[in-house]
Each structure stands twice: as structure tokens, then as C-alpha cells.
Structure 1
Amino acid sequence: MKKVKRFAGLFMMLLAATFAKAQDESKVETSISADVVNQYIWRGQDLGGTSFQPTLGIGCGGFSLSAWGSTGLTNPDDTKEFDITASYTIGGLTVGITDYWFNSGLDERNRYFRYNAHSTNHVFEANIGYDFKVLNVQWYTNFAGNDGANKSGKRAYSSYAEVNVPFAFAGADWTATAGCVPYATTFYGADGFAITNLTLKASKEIKVTDSFSVPVFAGITANPCSQKAYLTFGFTLQP
């Protein structure tokens, strides 16, 4: 419990430092948007059906702080999620920490402010990535909270890595993604090294008026590990 609370405290300190840095700068930008998707697919995992996913963030220089959520629109049993991410980017390098909260986990009462190591629904994840322009590489590792277990039943420090390749084709912006789980963990349902996410996604804007357009996107995702495949579609609402 103390360990998780220490991590939670460090995370809140990082959030405060990010906000303080933003306050000191003259150029602070606020971002507000929301996606509506037919399926919530995350890293090759099916987390629910039609969902509403709002985002609120601030950015200043290389610092960013954002809140993201997901709520099912058609099935009350779909995943409800609330994430807070603090990150810093310098050049092509990005490092960050995310606090994920899900409405299912170790706490039967689904309390947000429950950080006990053995009864929390929070998952704390650290990530590092580098954007090489022609492709970007990302690595994510859970380091505290409701992580999965390895084959020995111990904390797996569940990790996920992916490569994204953006390109333009036929009037749309495309991204090809390949993601894997490097070792066994129940968090991603992998018994060892596994390819869990192969995605091809296209996005473009539909012009509504001269000053307003709606970004839309569609993608095909395959998870060879679970032997599942998905066709997704969504659109973004933003000022």
C-alpha cells in the first residue's frame, strides 16, 4: 500500500511540476476534443462497443498534461476509464507517466481514490518513445497498481512495445502499427512473447463549411495472439 501511495504521490508531484512550468510560460495551449468510436480497441484488446472518449489537455513547450476518458454508449458493462498523463518531449524523445483508472479491478466498490496495492483499480505506467519522422517507436511498462501476473504468479511489470509508420496515400493520412508484448503477463493475455496488435488506420477530414470540418478515421486491427480481428470507425469533435 505504501509503495503505491508513494508512486501516486510522485505522479501528483509530476503533474504539479508540469502545471507550474506551464504557468511560468507565456504560451500555454488548451486542447479539448472527443472521439466517438464504434468499438473501443486498445493495443489489440477489445474493451467495449460504441464509446464516447473525451480529452482535456494543456501544453507548454515540451510539457503536456492531459485527461482522457471512455464511456460505453450502448452497453452498461463496457469499460469505463479515466486516465491522466504527464509527458515531456524534447526533439524526437518523449517520456511520460500515465495513471489509468478502470471501473473493474481489485476494488469491488470501484473507488477512484483507492490506492491500496492489493485493492486498487489504478494502473501506473511509464513510457519512453522516439520519433524518427519516418517511424516512431514506443515502449510502455506498468510499474505499480493493478498490474498483471507472470507465469510464477508474481507482478509481471507488464510491457508493450509498438512501431508506427505514418504515410500519405490516396488523399488520406495512414498509419501502420505493429505492437507486441515481450513476455508473459495476464494483463495482455500473453503466455510469452506475442504479437498483439497489427493495425492499418486511415484518417481524413470531411469539410462541413468553409470554417468547420470533422476528422473521421477507420482502421483494421488484428490480434494474432487472441486470434481476433476488428473493423473500427470513428469521428472527432473539436473546436
Structure 2
Amino acid sequence: MELVCYVLYKKVRSMMEKIQKAMALGMAATLVPVAAGAQDKVEASVGADLVSSYIWRGQELGDVSIQPSVSLSWKGLSLTAWGSASWGSEYAKEFDLTLGYAIKGFSVSVTDYSFSKGTNFKTGADIDGKYFHFGSNSTLHVYEAQVGYDFGFLAVDWYTNIGGNDGLKEDGKRAYSSYFALSAPFRLGGLDWNATVAAVPWETSFYNGGCSGFEVSEVALRAAKEIRVTQSFALPLFAKVTWNPATENAYFTAGLSF
């Protein structure tokens, strides 16, 4: 009897030791990604584009323009500052701040667009945009929310103004001006291409000088390649054709990225 008990004791003890080892290995495997994740560093980037004209969502916002940007990112979170200044003095300078989050193909963001001059949609008056003027009758800030998903072969994005100098409906109420876009990348003839179709879903005075309903505002085709300067340095060059069926305008632009 004692021999049987001893044998059972040894087997139970051996089993407990195996369980403890397995638990220890499991905890180690769990902690390793946490430790590695904790060591992730903040990444930063800075750059600038030089474009022949500034076309945004089928609308001309500037002629030859320099467009600097700087961004910080960490674990899917990003903070980006972007600006545009045209050589023509009749165009407004723009300064945007975007806070975003992306995981796999999903993305969401909030952007504060601000302009040095323009029209306040609530009053209809042309004003100089003082950056720290946030009142509804004096601001040229526009606050926009974005949500999108990139499937790889197709990217879908929806944008809606949630505050600031938003457009109006015909009855004078805030339009919550929105814009949605479909874009598809592909490669052809040694170039990287991107095709875009985008539209305004409902009436607003914010886009295209005012619209009364659904309007296709952008049909665009973009081609890009790198110009090799040295073996270790290349300049990305792009050209883009944009048609706006709503305003019956067409634009052909080119740009360099630094």
C-alpha cells in the first residue's frame, strides 16, 4: 500500500512540475510582446511638396504652392501638421492639424483646417482669419472627422465637418458638409497609379460654390515615379489629372516631394 501511495505521489509531483513549467513558459510568452511593445519608439518625419497648383477635392485653392508637413506617430496614433502657401497673394495660406489613429486597414481622424483669409459662411462676409478667433461669426477654422478603411485594392473614406466654419443649407441651417471618396491603386507601364472618384452626398455651400444635393466632385487619375538623382537619393515626381463634373472644370497638376 505504501509503495502504491509513493508511486502516485511521484506521478502527481511530476505532473505538477510540468504544469508549473508550462505556466511559466506561457507567462513569459505573454510578457515578451508587452516588453517589446513597451520599447516602441515615437517616430517622426518631415517633408515638403512643391506643386504646380493646389487642387483639393476638385477645387482650386492655390497656384504654385509649397506644402510642408511634419508628423509624429506612436503605436497607431499620429499627430500631423501640414501647411500650404501659394506664390499668388490672392490665395489664402492654410495650416492644418490632424490627430489620427490607424490599425491594419482601419483609420479615423479629426482635422482642424485653418485659413489666413476667406468667407465666413454664417455671415457671408470675407474676413482675415485670425488663428485664435473661434467664434461662429469670426472663425475660418473648420473641424472635420474622417473614418475609412483600406482594403488594399480599394480605399473608402468618409469626411464630415463637425464644427467651425461649415457650409449651410438653403434654409440657413448647418449642412454638416460631407465628402466621400473611393480610390484604387494599381501599377501600369512602370508607374504607380491611383484612380479616385469622390462626391458630395447632400446640399451644402461648402463645396463647389454651393450644391443642392448629390454631386460628383472629383474624378482623378494620378501617376507617380521616382527620379534617381544619385544611387542613394531619389525625388518622387507625380502628375495628376482631375475633373470636377459639378463645376465642369479640369486640372492638370504636377509636383515633387522632398
Asked whether the 8 Å contact 1:150–1:156 carries over to 2, the reply is yes
CA contact (8 A) 1:105 1:120 kept: no
Cα offset for 1:79? 2.5
CA positional deviation for 1:191: 1.9
Partner of 2:214: 193
Choose the corresponding residue for 2:133, options 114, 126, 132: 114
Gaps of at least 5 residues in structure 1 are 1-23
The answer to whether the aligner puts 1:98 opposite 2:127 as a matched pair is no
Q: Percent identity?
A: 48
Q: Deviations over 1:24-44 (max 9, x none)?
A: 763211111100001100000
Question: 1:132: Cα distance to partner?
Answer: 0.6
**TM-score (norm: length of structure 1):** 0.87
3-state SS of 1:76 partner = coil
Q: What TM-score results when the alignment is normalised by the length of structure 2? A: 0.80
Paired residues of 1:25 and 1:60 also in contact (CA < 8 A): no
In structure 2, stretches of 5+ residues that fail to align are 1-37, 121-125
CA distance in 1, matches of 2:39, 2:187: 35
Query: Aligned partners of 2:94, 2:245: CA distance in 1, in Å?
Result: 25
- Higher relative contact order (Cα pairs below 8 Å, separated by 6+ residues): 1
| CA shift digits 1:87-135 (9 cap, x unpaired) | 0011211000000001223372421011112210100000000011110
Alignment equivalent of 1:52, drawn from 58, 62, 66: 66
User: Which among 149, 155, 160 is matched to residue 168 of structure 2?
Assistant: 149
Please provide the CA RMSD for this pair: 1.2
The number of equivalent residue pairs is: 213
TM superposition outliers: structure 1 runs of 4+ over 4 Å: none
User: Which amino acid letter does the alignment assign opposite residue 207 of structure 1?
Assistant: R
Distance in 2 (alpha carbons) for counterparts of 1:61 and 1:207: 32
Distance in 1 between the 2:68 and 2:145 partners? 22
Q: Is the 8 A contact 2:40 2:75 kept in 1?
A: no
The aligned residue for residue 158 of structure 2 is 139
Give the secondary structure class of the aligned counterpart of 1:209: coil
State how far apart, in whole Å, the 1-side matches of 2:238 and 2:167 are: 31
CA distance in 2, matches of 1:156, 1:55: 30
Structure label with greater radius of gyration: 2
Q: Which amino acid aligns with 2:241?
A: I
SS state of the match for residue 154, structure 1?
A: coil
Q: Specify the code of the residue in structure 1 equivalent to 2:221.
A: L
Q: Which is richer in helix?
A: 2
